[in-house]
Chain A
Amino acid sequence: MPETPARPWGRWLVIGIPLVWLSLFFLLPFGIVLKISLSEAAVAIPPVQPWFGVEGQWLSATFEHFRLLVSDTLYLSAYLSSLRIATVSTVLCLLVGFPLALGLARAAPRWQGILLLLVIIPSWTSLLIRVYAWMGILGNTGVINNMLLALGLIDQPLVMLRTDFAVYVGIVYAYLPFMVLPLYATLVRIDPALLEAAADLGATAPTVFLRVVLPLATGGIIAGSMLVFIPAIGEFVIPELLGGADTLMIGRVLWQEFFNNRAWPLAAAVAVVLLAVLLAPLWLFHHQQSRSLELER
């Protein structure tokens, strides 16, 4: 629908208002994070050197925080273990989510609406509450251990809460809808005639799946994986509530540096490096999003 050019100011308001808001409150803050990450820490409120130094010069950059990130192995291993946990969780989400998405796409049309709603409902309830639910299930006196003890299958409770295992369960549980929805959206568009044609030409079921379904679902796989992987890397609530003291994740480190140690410049440096790590997946996600928008039109 081409807008009439009669009132260009209306057009510019429609574009300008969200653009200005997001530039001011989303883009500009990243610049400030970069600036603070290069600032000296100070014993003051707020705990950084003021925006304008005493001499009126404000470009007194220091790289000490970045140097610390490289030299102290705590940070490197936190980044690596975040990457590992996010990767494993994404793969698990894909393995659990794909059959569900495929089942949804093949269900009778009149059932699809309600089934889709059943997938979405959990993501409308609080993430905090859903993660908390697993504390009561996985704990030493939790539901699973109580049941196994009562059945006499184990003598001592299995330690599940406060381990990496609990973190995986939590991430898969919390992010599953974000994996299933884009998968479903691509799978439902696959023309069943294609699958029949492949079968008629002699392809076995696994071959049809690998050579026809999977390639056509690539867009959904990428979108869903990025929707899980990128936020999971910086996840704080799940490792804090379900992980052990030794479950290192970078979101947790950032939180602790900021709130417990009041090391604002160091926390900012952690954020800058995390953002740099995420640039490639972010680009992939954005690319995929704009492609799917193009396709819809």
Chain B
Amino acid sequence: MSLRVAMIVVFVFLYAPMLLLVIYSFNESRLVTVWAGFSTRWYGELFRDRQMMSALWVSLRVAFMAATTAVVLGTLAAVALTRLGPFRGRNALGVLVTAPLVIPEVITGLSLLLLFVAMGQLIGWPAERGMVTVWIAHVTFATAFVTVVVAARLARFESALYEAALDLGATPFRAFVQVVLPVIAPALLAGWLLAFTLSLDDLVIASFTTGPGATTLPMVVFSSVRLGVSPKVNALATLLIAFVVLAALASWWLMQRRSAYRDT
């Protein structure tokens, strides 16, 4: 019973701040914390904010590219770690895959920037930093998260299915694409969404590795928020929260349907 009370308290702690953001995004007043009546004017101002909208476009493109690449790399890494048995360098790959999960972002950001500068001096590429360098940086840390998600699914995969395909004459590549991929597809989608949100949210690594003309949304939000609370950011936050909650409910609903289908 007391456990249930504790759970409710923690859930209130988790959700009350976000709920307040949503409520105050509909506040007429410029002073964020004084209620002055219902209004949607800050949403209008948000969409008219050229700087934020172009930063959003940059962020969406980088996140899409980074998530797609990270799913490919992460799936390869997950297959290597869970399905290929022992090989030389397995331990090294394991370390390289788990370390980005926890290494502080300032270190990852600084080290990638110094790499790009050194590469630019040595081989002339990248000549200047921008969307491409942010993309590489985001792929590198998002791959770790995708690997964890996909490896967890692969570890539970019935290998008999794959072996049956091989016995029936499929090449390992074909067996993987036609037998394994459809089964682990939900994990790939989950990994892609996770990588996408991580990239969309990243401030620190992008700040280090970006260059002129490639300002991402978190960088614009951060410089505005640093000066204090702003109703426009509340509106942006509300849209983001709504998007995440809808996506989460959709994925939950899909999973429910799948398990109901399995049980019958």
Chain A contact residues: over half helix, strand or loop, or mixed? Answer: helix
Asked whether A29 lies within 8 Å of B33 as measured between CB atoms, the reply is no
- Interface assignment of B99: CB less than 8 Å from any CB of chain A: yes
Neighbour of B107 across the interface among A10, A23, A275, A297, CB < 8 A: A275
- Known contacts A33-B111, A46-B117, A100-B6: A132-B85 contact under CB 8 Å: no
Say whether A71 faces chain B, with CB atoms less than 8 Å apart. no
Q: In the bound complex, do residue A128 and residue B225 qualify as a contact, i.e. CB atoms below 8 Å apart? A: yes
Task: Check B186 for interface membership: any CB of A closer than 8 A.
Answer: no
The docked-state distance in angstroms from the alpha carbon of A278 to that of B105 is: 13
Give the total of B residues in contact with A, Cβ under 8 Å.
Answer: 103
B182 at the binding interface (Cβ < 8 Å): no
One of A73-81, A136-144, A195-203, A212-220 at the interface: A136-144
Out of A97, A133, A278, which one reaches B18, CB within 8 Å? A133
Asked if residues A128 and B218 are in contact (CB atoms below 8 Å), the reply is: yes
Give which listed residue, A27, A120, A176, A251, contacts B106 with CB less than 8 A: A251
Question: Would A26 and B6 count as touching, CB distance under 8 A?
Answer: no
Interface size on A, residues (CB 8 A): 97
| A25 vs B208: C-alpha distance when bound (angstroms) | 14
* A290 in the interface (beta carbon within 8 A): yes
Q: Which residues of A contact B255 (CB under 8 A)?
A: 113
Pairwise interchain contact B17-A29, C-beta atoms closer than 8 A: no
Kindly name the residue among B20, B33, B79, B171 whose own CB sees the greatest number of chain A CB atoms within 10 A. Answer: B33
Does A119 interact with chain B (Cβ within 8 Å)? Answer: yes
Cross-chain contact B115 with A130 (CB below 8 angstroms): no
Contact indicator A230/B18 (Cβ below 8 Å): no
Cα distance A106–B159 in the bound complex, in angstroms: 32
> In this assembly, does B245 line the interface, its C-beta being within 8 Å of a C-beta of chain A?
yes
Q: How far is the CA of A163 from the CA of B144 in the complex (A)?
A: 34
B4 with A133: CB separation less than 8 A = no
Given contacts A15-B76, A113-B255, A128-B218, 13 further A-B contacts (CB under 8 A): A10-B173, A18-B80, A46-B117, A103-B3, A117-B252, A128-B225, A129-B233, A130-B17, A136-B229, A233-B104, A271-B106, A282-B102, A293-B151
